[in-house]
A and B are shown apart, each in its own frame.
Chain A
Amino acid sequence: MGRICLWGSGLVVISVLIFILSVLIVRGGGVLSWEFFTSSPKGLFLGTEGGIFPAIVGTASLIVISIMIAAIPALLTAIYLTEYGKASTLASLMNVVIQAMIGIPSILIGLFGYALFVVTLGFGISLLAGGLTLAIMIFPTLVVLMRDALQAVSDDYRILGESLGVSRRYVLQKIILPVASPHLLSSILLAMGYAAGATAPIMVTAAVVMSRGSASLLNPVMALPFHLYILFSQHISLERAYGTALVLVMLLLIINLLSLYLRKRYGKRVVSNA
């Protein structure tokens, strides 16, 4: 009896993924075409015909902006937490705050972004406001991933550096960062995937149903997840909604598998025998 439950639960997890992928491929595979990727939404109700090109561009720019804003501060914070502030009260306090921030619902980050960037700073519903909001959303996750990446590098290197009388910065720059770089890259990819799929924060700060304007920082953009939501909830086109969902899931699948591969493939380098 117990064994059936245990094996059954494993089977459930496998079948959930197979189910999701097969439904998306069977129902959404039909609309995928060159035109679907490269043209704008058209039709009487926008989206019944045409493609999702502006949404792809919008999502790509949101990801790039948010990661550009978040990556460097996150790396510096991770460096502080693992290298300089290691056991200090301040660092452990920061750890608590950042850990707790990971669990904050994304809609509340959106609410904050709306109040701060859209209203108070006057950016309006725009690419910039959305990118900044997503940057705040991914920041805590990114810090924790990067902190773990740096911590995974053996302490032997640090001790060795100390005994040779070189500075912490030197050890960091010459040894720890290069050794940890596949891990760091994998963290960045994961965070990008997280930003690409986020819908609630951008639906209040950046996304619109249709944008023709040039891609400027202060214009609103289309985005894949929001486009999917609109296609479905406004009953525009179920078929195209499946197609959009398939594109989104494939994009995230590639990003996540790449990130996983980097961590697995180069994971061994981290353990030193020095």
Chain B
Amino acid sequence: MLSDRKDLILKWCSLGCSVGSVLVLLSLYAFIAAESLPIWRDVGIMSLLFNQEWRPLDELPQFGFLTMLVSTLWSSLGAMLIAAPLGMCCGIFLAEFAPRWLSAVIRTILNILTGIPSVVYGFLGASVIVPWYELVFSVPSGESLFCASFVLSIMVVPYIVSGTYAAFNSIPAEYRESGYVLGVSKMYVTARILFPLARRNIITAVMLAFGRAAGETMAVLMLAGNTLTLPLSWFSKGEPLSALIALEIGTAAVGSRQYQALFAGGLVLLIFVSSINFAMYYFNGRGRS
């Protein structure tokens, strides 16, 4: 193909630009790791991850993420418990059962739902869902990991739906036709033929949604109750890792132990979410080839 001078300029500009921006993105890992390095060295990995106490400003400060890690797991796994069945049902419904117009309407609605910012979900959860929860369970203050999970599940459902929908849509029509030829019901074809074919992509969608739920900040910040005690049940209050970072980074003195510890918490969250993302990328990639 012919290359003039402008072509070469564009080629090298686009190459330089993309390499540069990927390096900026990668420096995010480096920066967060570097800022937290001293505290990993001095306090120790085991102590940071498995100490229950978080008292950064005491005479003898304690830096342990266990409470926040458990809160993060409760809220995000709980969200999956609600969102995964709902999202899969809805995705299957849109791909196989819904009339075409209804499917289009619901997909537009899901598009709009993903566009609503998390602070609005958190706000509505805290001002509408929490009072209901207080009423139903007759407790004085309803902020809890359960409420956080509930709102998180609504936030991540669209991602599970679109993953499931795409997985079912990519299955060739012959599979359905050969099922119908044998005279079995549509339900049977969906459950026994199509679902196993789509399973890998559905697992990917659910795992990616799990990663999103684990890193989500504003909604859990407004709903989980923000108390630093180890949450023993889904209905206790807690403070997920992301909420801890958002609450304390603004007031932590730059370079202090608390500052380093918050970056250490960020690194834990980053590694957790990124490993899910990378694992799913390869898990899904292998299935396609």
Interface residues of A (CB under 8 A from B): 2-3, 5-10, 12-14, 16-17, 20, 23-24, 73-74, 76-77, 79-81, 83-85, 90, 94, 96-101, 103-112, 114-116, 119, 136, 139-140, 143, 162, 165-170, 172, 190, 193, 196-200, 203-204, 225-226, 228-229, 232-233, 238, 241-242, 245, 248-249, 252-253, 255-257, 260
Contacts and interface: CB of A to CB of B under 8 A. Distances in A.
Given A3-B97, A100-B281, A112-B31, A228 B25 contact: no
B22 interface: yes
A98 B25 CA distance: 8
B231 to A, nearest CB: 20
A10 B215 contact: no
B129 to A, nearest CB: 11
B17 A115 contact: no
Contacts, number: 245
B116 A96 contact: no
A9 B89 contact: yes
B106 A10 contact: yes
Contact of B2 (A99, A167, A204): A167
Given A17-B109, A17-B112, A193-B115, A10 B98 contact: yes
A213 to B, nearest CB: 19
Contacts of A252: 115-117
Given A13-B161, A100-B281, A245 B89 contact: no
B10 interface: yes
B6 A169 contact: yes
Contacts of A169: 4, 6-7, 10-11
A252 B111 CA distance: 11
Contacts of A143: 21
Do most interface residues of chain B lie in helix, strand or loop, or is the interface mixed? helix
B266 interface: yes
Contacts of A198: 117
Nearest to B98: A10
Contacts of A9: 86-87, 89-90, 93
Nearest to A227: B119
A198 B154 CA distance: 18
Contacts of B108: 260
A248 B214 CA distance: 25
B90 A77 contact: no
3 smallest A-B Cβ distances: which pairs? A105-B215, A197-B117, A9-B89
